[in-house]
Structure 1
Amino acid sequence: MSERTTSSNWALGIVQALEMGGVDCRSIFPELGLDYALLEDPDARFPQDGMTRLWTRAVELSGNPAIGLNMAKVVRPASFHVVGYALMSSSSLKEGLARLVRYQRIIAEGADLSFRPTPDGYELVLAIHGDRLPPARQSAEASLAYALAFCRWMTGKLIRPRRILLQGEPPADIEPFQQVFQAPLEFNASHYGLLFERADMEMPLPTANPSLAQLHDRFAGEFLARFSESRVTHQARQVICRLLPQGEPKREVVAQTLHMSQRTLQRRLQEEGTSFQQLLDDTRCELAQQYLAQPNLTLLEVSYLLGFADPSNFFRAFRRWFELTPSEYRARI
């Protein structure tokens, strides 16, 4: 069974944040079955559950449930692996966060990101998945705090989101959250997310460099391809992309193409944190964004390229994904 993993770059950021909070990670790594020396190897990966146990132990030792927010103080591009440099060379935060979503799995496989326009601006949505252990709340809070701090660092501006969405009950002490986010907080939200003003996302980045962005895209793309080849999710996604223009792909056809039974396909996808239906939906959602960015494609053509026999099903799915119609989305971009 394949384990979800986290890059050593991101793990090092977490360790620095915890050590800043008074936790001696060097001494607790061995008890958690983790090798502290691997933090120096940029290609090393740590098991997702090992990182979850690290968060849990850090909260116990520090007595600080908000310790994840320290991630906002350790901002450096390398924490995002090659992706951090691709973000910096983007023309705007909007373009940068779209890159972050595309290459997210290089940083950590336990997180799923999406970035979408909303009626008022843009939203970065985060979902954290555990492997065998349920994910730590601190992991999600750290990811949001870091993403926002990185946006502020790149722009040199105190970007204040419209709203910070946090799952779970409000903590006993809300002050650390107010200090880090400096924006309205909404606890007990349906998901983790940052709601941004449109102007903040669309203003030019001082570090923008189109030729460097292209270079980093190539590095990140090659890294992701090497990293993904062994994953059934990646292989099944490729088959789905190929079959979609002929209509909605059936699970049995995808399984046959991959030379496995339907049951094996479903089990392997489950081990990697998804299902066939979820993968089909996610693939369509990603492709819809790419197709709508091409002005020469009509909405009807986009609908058929995504394997929808009836365009009204495409419109319904699109509204579910983005809370916008395809025409409204196209007008935005």
Structure 2
Amino acid sequence: MERASRTTSAGWVSAIGHALAVDGLDIAALFRELGLDTDVLTDPDARISQDSMTRVWHLAVERSGNPAIGLNMARVLRPGHFSVVGYSLMSSRSLREGFGRVVRYQRLIGESSDMMMQIEPDTCRLQFAIHGDRLPAALQSVEAAMAYALAFCRWMTADPIVPIKATFARSEPQDVAPYRALFECPLEFDAPAYSLLMSRQLMEAPLATANDSLAKLHDRFAGDFLARFESDPVTHQTRQVLCRLLPQGEPKRQTVASAMNMSTRTLQRRLQEEGVSFQQLLERTRRELALQYLGQPQLTLFEIACMLGFADPSNFFRAFKRWFGLPPGQYREQVLQDQSEEE
């Protein structure tokens, strides 16, 4: 039976792109060389298959000649790469609490990621794994996660944190220098797992960026997003593809299925299992996006119709009146009036 591919968030792929650029590589060029859709690189809500990213890592190593290229992730730190998960981490009271949130919400970053936190009397071990989908995961992907996590710790504390030990479930590379330069601690290769062993006192120290109110707000956003993602994963993924394709015209079922690496019949069956048809999801997505776009006064009604994939604006006007009982222009006037009164 065909199944949906495990995916990686566009935010994490953006981080990978910045890391590859350190070695002079253009991730868009790598995507094109591999026959992958480059549109996902500019869509913050997109998801990219894990196998596609595995192929990108392999090609990046081949083109750069740098098998330690994953460690570049420590040099491109941006909280937005984790989306709401990153902001949730930033507002946590301690690194331990923050990485607890990363463990809880990690599927939003990548469905193949598997991070664990083990607490001992004096230490805290962050353990990392990236599971392959149809292809074995590239070792650079898990080393990238380790490098990014350490860089985040150093950035959050404004301190040059040094782990007690870094372990790698791989043989020792020919050139260990990049690993020594980044981790600055004893390195153990051929270990049972990839991990960073940290001081528990350091992990539980208060953070200057702590904000309980923001942390609760981010938890709610991340929790809601995760609940939708886990309960209806194919519906969620299909909606993201539709959002990306709609500005090009009404997406065909076959085009969407191809973008998700499955057959049209499989897509139809998987959506039915989650209680929705392709046409229902298309209409629901258009309806939700229409409300978002109409709240942006700089967009004309014609532009909104095009962004929703309507070839003729009159079709958009009729659809909107069917959905909400009034024309889009009248709806916009009411929304903008309400906004001005609230101000």
* TM-score of the two chains, using structure 2 as the length reference: 0.66
56, 59, 65: which one pairs with 2:58?
56
Equivalences for 1:109-120 in 2 at 5 Å?
109-120=111-122
Deviation of 1:231 after TM superposition, in Å, equals 5.0
Deviation of 1:58 after TM superposition, in Å, equals 0.2
Name the amino acid aligned to 2:102.
L
Residue 308 of structure 1: aligned partner: none
In structure 1, distance between residues paired with 2:35 and 2:219: 34
Cα-to-partner distance string for 1:206-252 (whole Å, 9 max, x where unaligned)? 100000000000010011111111259xxxxxxxxxxxxxxxxxxxx
Give the conservation status (yes or no) of the 8 Å contact 2:28–2:41. no
Residue 127 of structure 1: aligned partner: 129
Gaps of 5+ in 1: 233-267, 269-333
Cα-to-partner distance string for 1:66-92 (whole Å, 9 max, x where unaligned)? 000000001010111210000000000
In structure 2, distance between residues paired with 1:93 and 1:24: 33
Residue 143 of structure 1: aligned partner: 145
Cα-to-partner distance string for 1:113-168 (whole Å, 9 max, x where unaligned)? 11120243111111210000001000010000000101110110111111111111
Deviation of 1:27 after TM superposition, in Å, equals 1.6
Cα-to-partner distance string for 1:298-333 (whole Å, 9 max, x where unaligned)? xxxxxxxxxxxxxxxxxxxxxxxxxxxxxxxxxxxx
Residue 20 of structure 1: aligned partner: 22
Name the amino acid aligned to 1:6.
T
Residue 6 of structure 1: aligned partner: 8
Residue 213 of structure 1: aligned partner: 215
170, 177, 180: which one pairs with 1:178?
180
Residue 80 of structure 1: aligned partner: 82
Report the 3-state secondary structure (helix = DSSP H, G, I; strand = E; otherwise coil) of the residue aligned with 1:112: coil
Report the 3-state secondary structure (helix = DSSP H, G, I; strand = E; otherwise coil) of the residue aligned with 1:111: coil
Report the 3-state secondary structure (helix = DSSP H, G, I; strand = E; otherwise coil) of the residue aligned with 1:37: helix
In structure 1, distance between residues paired with 2:203 and 2:106: 19
In structure 2, distance between residues paired with 1:54 and 1:164: 25
Deviation of 1:181 after TM superposition, in Å, equals 1.1
**What is the aligned length?**
233
Deviation of 1:20 after TM superposition, in Å, equals 1.2
Residue 168 of structure 1: aligned partner: 170
Name the amino acid aligned to 2:212.
P
Deviation of 1:191 after TM superposition, in Å, equals 0.6
* TM-score of the two chains, using structure 1 as the length reference: 0.68
Residue 43 of structure 1: aligned partner: 45
Give the conservation status (yes or no) of the 8 Å contact 1:5–1:48. yes
In structure 2, distance between residues paired with 1:19 and 1:231: 32
In structure 2, distance between residues paired with 1:2 and 1:145: 29
Give RMSD over aligned pairs: 1.4
In structure 2, distance between residues paired with 1:199 and 1:4: 36
Deviation of 1:100 after TM superposition, in Å, equals 0.4
Name the amino acid aligned to 1:163.
K
Residue 31 of structure 2: aligned partner: 29
Residue 299 of structure 1: aligned partner: none
Residue 97 of structure 2: aligned partner: 95
In structure 2, distance between residues paired with 1:182 and 1:36: 37
Higher CA-based Rg = 2
Gaps of 5+ in 2: 235-269, 271-343
In structure 1, distance between residues paired with 2:228 and 2:34: 28
In structure 1, distance between residues paired with 2:216 and 2:27: 37
Give the conservation status (yes or no) of the 8 Å contact 2:114–2:130. yes
**102-111 or 116-125, larger mean C-alpha shift:** 116-125
Give the conservation status (yes or no) of the 8 Å contact 2:77–2:148. yes
Give the conservation status (yes or no) of the 8 Å contact 2:74–2:148. yes
Give the conservation status (yes or no) of the 8 Å contact 2:122–2:201. no
In structure 2, distance between residues paired with 1:81 and 1:140: 19
In structure 2, distance between residues paired with 1:231 and 1:8: 16
Cα-to-partner distance string for 1:237-294 (whole Å, 9 max, x where unaligned)? xxxxxxxxxxxxxxxxxxxxxxxxxxxxxxx9xxxxxxxxxxxxxxxxxxxxxxxxxx
Name the amino acid aligned to 1:38.
V
Report the 3-state secondary structure (helix = DSSP H, G, I; strand = E; otherwise coil) of the residue aligned with 1:128: coil
Give the conservation status (yes or no) of the 8 Å contact 2:58–2:138. yes
Give the conservation status (yes or no) of the 8 Å contact 1:33–1:50. no
Deviation of 1:7 after TM superposition, in Å, equals 0.3
In structure 1, distance between residues paired with 2:227 and 2:136: 28
Q: Percent identity?
A: 57
